[in-house]
């Protein structure tokens, strides 16, 4: 596997190294040894899939509050998505910045998203399927999100939004002071 760092610390793109022949190709999509060598999770506890029928569908931006340590590895298994990672970690040098990566089934690339970084995507082709691996179990009481078009983040989406869940559409404006206070209160004692 090949890894490409992004402008957000801890967020990286994982690329396939294909062994091609007349049959097609064979490639490793995940390896505990290679992920561990980069300091990334080598143990996943949950896997989920998202099927998106229509181009322009938008999901996110979702994250889990501490003490969840949910990291994600996101790969587009069919179709393509404009994938966003938004840094919501107050101590990070890229706090409130985002990166965009196009995930395409034909490329087989994936995006690693560490804890504290929100994730969302817009579907670029109808009938798209996205696979997630998660390092921590989903905790509904810690699940939250920020609005896809919140002016605090300035995210440019490539297409008009055709389908979006009410909860994703209706998140309130980002409250910086409240966010920082809740993250500080949830931090382990040694980080305070």
Per-residue pLDDT tens digits for 165-188: 999 999 999 999 999 999 998 876
Q: What is the mean pLDDT of residues 131-144?
A: 94
Per-residue pLDDT tens digits for 149-169: 999 999 999 999 999 999 999
Buried b / exposed e across 93-110, counting CB within 10 Å, b at 16+? ebbbebbbbebbbeebbb
Binning pLDDT at 50, 70 and 90, where does residue 27 land?
A: confident
Binning pLDDT at 50, 70 and 90, where does residue 190 land?
A: very low
Task: Please answer whether residues 134 and 48 qualify as being in contact, where contact means their C-beta atoms are separated by less than 8 angstroms.
Answer: yes
Looking at the predicted structure, is the pLDDT value of residue 28 above 90?
no
Q: How many other C-beta atoms lie within 10 A of the C-beta of residue 48?
A: 12
Residue scoring higher pLDDT (92 or 40): 92
- The catalytic residues are 62, 132
Q: What is the mean pLDDT of residues 72-78?
A: 96
| Per-state percent for the chain, helix, strand, coil, to nearest 5 | 10, 40, 50
Contacts of 163 (CB under 8 A, 6+ apart): 52, 54, 56, 57, 58
CA nearest neighbour of 115 among 176, 158, 62, 38: 62
Task: Please answer whether residues 42 and 112 qualify as being in contact, where contact means their C-beta atoms are separated by less than 8 angstroms.
Answer: no
Task: Please answer whether residues 26 and 18 qualify as being in contact, where contact means their C-beta atoms are separated by less than 8 angstroms.
Answer: yes
Give the per-residue pLDDT at 189.
Answer: 53
Q: In this structure, what DSSP letter does residue 16 have?
A: -
Give the per-residue pLDDT at 32.
Answer: 87
Report CA-CA distances (Å) from 61 to 19, 26, 43.
Answer: 35, 33, 24
CATH superfamily of 2-191: Jelly Rolls (2.60.120.10)
User: Which of 38-47, 104-113, 150-159 comes out lowest in average pLDDT?
Assistant: 38-47
Rounded Cα distance, 170 and 164, in Å: 10
Q: What is the mean pLDDT of residues 106-123?
A: 95
CA nearest neighbour of 116 among 96, 101, 102: 96
What residue spans define the domains of the chain? 2-191
- The three-class DSSP label of residue 57 is coil
């Amino acid at each position: 596997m090949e890894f490409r760092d992004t402008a957000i610390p801890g967020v990286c793109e994982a690329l396939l190294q294909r062994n091609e022949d007349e049959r097609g190709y064979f490639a490793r999509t995940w390896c505990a040894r290679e992920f561990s060598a980069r300091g990334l999770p080598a143990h996943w506890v949950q896997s989920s899939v998202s099927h998106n029928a229509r181009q322009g569908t938008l999901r996110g931006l979702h994250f889990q509050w501490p003490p969840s340590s949910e990291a994600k590895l996101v790969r587009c298994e069919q179709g393509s998505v404009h994938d966003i990672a938004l840094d919501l970690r107050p101590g990070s040098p890229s706090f409130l910045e985002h990166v965009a990566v196009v995930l395409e089934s034909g490329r087989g690339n994936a995006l690693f998203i560490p804890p504290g970084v929100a994730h969302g995507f817009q579907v670029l082709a109808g009938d798209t399927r996205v696979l997630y691996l998660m390092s921590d179990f989903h905790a509904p009481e810690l699940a939250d999100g920020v609005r896809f078009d919140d002016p605090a983040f300035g995210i440019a989406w490539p297409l008009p939004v055709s389908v979006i869940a009410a909860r994703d559409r209706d998140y309130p404006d980002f409250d910086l002071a409240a966010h920082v206070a809740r993250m500080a209160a949830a931090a382990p004692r040694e980080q305070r």
